[in-house]
Structure 1
Amino acid sequence: MSSPPRPGVRLAVDVGDARVGLAASDPDALVATPVMTLRRDARRGSDLRMLVKIAQERRARVIYVGLPLSLSGQETPSTQKAREYAAELTQRLEEASVGAEVTLVDERLSTVSAQSKMRAAGVEARDQRDSIDQAAAVEILTHALEVFHRQP
């Protein structure tokens, strides 16, 4: 029998080429809420610096990075980009002495699900751009909380 997960905030990151969506859980890891969308800054890494700062401020225990796989479960070029992002985030967290663990989580259909929920809530497709990355991060975090924290 495994021990229950330790309490603490969980973060989720939806990594894209242009933007990074961020979501966070409450300290009991029960509810996922959107936090912000960061502009992806591969050259200077300002998005990664902000993620480290947020993880530190919120005392995050785990950061889930969405792993984009094809519908059949195969890796894609985006999969490698997410792996590289997670590795860079891990390194930066260690350098800053932030004890959050970085875990990759299957994110198949997270954006599609987020778009569908936003449409159902009456948000027009043209108005989704500013918040779709956050909504996808919420989907990733919700999935991770269900898989890793609500086991019987």
Structure 2
Amino acid sequence: MLNPAEMEASLARLDRFNMSRTPNFEPRRAPAIPSFVAAADAGLLYMPVKAGPEAEVRAWLGALGRGGLITDFVQKTLRQWRRKQGLHRSFTVLRHPLPRAYAAYRQVLLADADLRKLLQKTYRIDLPAPDAADTDHREPFLEVLRWLKLYLSG
């Protein structure tokens, strides 16, 4: 070794495992702005969460004022609405994960025939008819939760 100090400095900068670049495993998502709902004359902007109590909040928001609801925002119209409102509040409504999962189960899984077939054929989850009694959904819902846990854990 002729230059140990130079070698040490060079090796100190070496990023053998590429740790300087943090990987991003989250899928790219489009902005949720088109799903935002505003009360026309109340200065409130609702940002819904999927499988949340969207219908109830929309009804409450629509009853607040006389102007109705404003929907189908894009970046530009949202910016214009915010400027026009001056003081305003943006909010969302969260639901406990279990009722949210059950709402998604009822809204999506039971309504989407292709997804039902996939779960029944591939994962052997016996889903009842969408109009079946709630007691008939208990075991299939638990099976879907087990499948969802495995699916989300990779």
TM range (shorter): under 0.3
Q: Which structure shows the bigger proportion of residues in helix conformation?
A: 2
* TM-score (normalised: structure 1): 0.23
- Structure scoring higher RCO (CA < 8 A, sep ≥ 6) equals 1
* TM-score (normalised: structure 2): 0.23
Higher Rg of the two aligned structures: 2
Q: Which structure shows the bigger proportion of residues in strand conformation?
A: 1
